[in-house]
Amino acid sequence: MSSQDHIRNPIEWACDQILLAALSVGSLGRSLEGSQASQEASLPAVCRINAADLRDALVRGLDDFGAYRTDVIFLCLVYPLVGIALVWLTFGNEFLPLLFPLASGFALVGPVAAVGLYEMSRRREQGISITWADAFGAISSPAFGAILVLGMLLLAILLFWLLVATVIYQLTLGPEPPVSVAAFVRDVFTTRVGWAMIVVGVGVGFLFALLVLAISVVSFPLLLDRNVGLRTAVLTSISAVAANPGPMAVWGLIVASGLVIGSIPAFLGLIFVMPVLGHATWHLYRKVVAPSTSQSVLTSVRN
């Protein structure tokens, strides 16, 4: 049997992905710095966008989801499983105050969780046939090392948020753990210190969300799309937010609202919300970051 006719089993496929990941991590230094040309070039230009662009990005994201819904639903089954695991971890009363910080903190690591969706949208844009396995194509990207480091940074931000949320609870309703779920809910919504915890927690959580939005809204798609370094990707993302404070604030609100709505029915809504938002973020990136010279030439040739 010829090699091209051989159908790999899941174990062979997984081994290939592990090998690709190892090779990518081995080139971490080059990945963090990007190509020599990108190091010497200025930051990619960012464009101004408006509400119509946000709406169009969502429509295109929904279209991507519709085109590959079976594949992305299969991939995104992990999100409600993670959510249920979070609930299970906080089942004991001593961890109950961390339930909301954990659920809301999912938005802080959402950008790295959606990298596979960005890759699927990127390939569809190029007219490449896509299956669920192509979501793992980011592993073979030259920028995988930078993507991994940025993902670890978001994870560190999440852990720091949980630490801050714990301190907020201890200074308000704590330091003793709740005696029951009912007592905790009653104390949160019917006492002055409970409302103080809500106000301070939401305010501080907003700052964490703003930080993550600024450094990641276009950095992951940019790393997948071009051979740039981690510094260039993060600075471009910050520039995109600074150039479009209003639309980016609305986008952050859309993402946060979508994740909250998707989390309500036992996190099952995330099976649909996450892929739509993930695909839409890719199209938002296309609108915010101006194409490179080579991409512009290729587009004009195609047209």
The residue behind tokens 């950095």 is 219
Q: What is the largest CA-CA distance in the chain?
A: 74
DSSP structural state of residue 8: P
Structure tokens given for 218: 């276009």
> What region does 179 belong to: left with phi over 0, alpha with psi -120 to 50, or beta?
alpha
Structure confidence at residue 284 (pLDDT): 95
Measured CA to CA, the distance from residue 151 to residue 223 in angstroms comes to 12
Measured CA to CA, the distance from residue 157 to residue 291 in angstroms comes to 30
Structure confidence at residue 34 (pLDDT): 53
Bridge-partner residues for 228, per DSSP? 34
Expressed in angstroms, the distance from the first to the final Cα of the chain is 42
Structure confidence at residue 16 (pLDDT): 54
Structure confidence at residue 300 (pLDDT): 38
What residue spans define the domains of the chain? 17-27+50-290
Taken in order 85, 87, 89, 92, the sign of the CA dihedral is negative
- The answer to whether the CB of 197 falls within 8 A of the CB of 173 is yes
Structure confidence at residue 100 (pLDDT): 80
Taking the chain (303 residues) in consecutive chunks of 10 residues, what is each chunk's mean pLDDT?
Answer: 45 51 50 51 86 95 79 59 62 71 78 83 80 64 82 89 91 85 87 92 91 92 88 93 94 86 71 86 94 52 36
Structure confidence at residue 8 (pLDDT): 47
CA torsion 263-267-271-272 (nearest 10°) is -30
DSSP structural state of residue 114: T
Structure confidence at residue 4 (pLDDT): 44
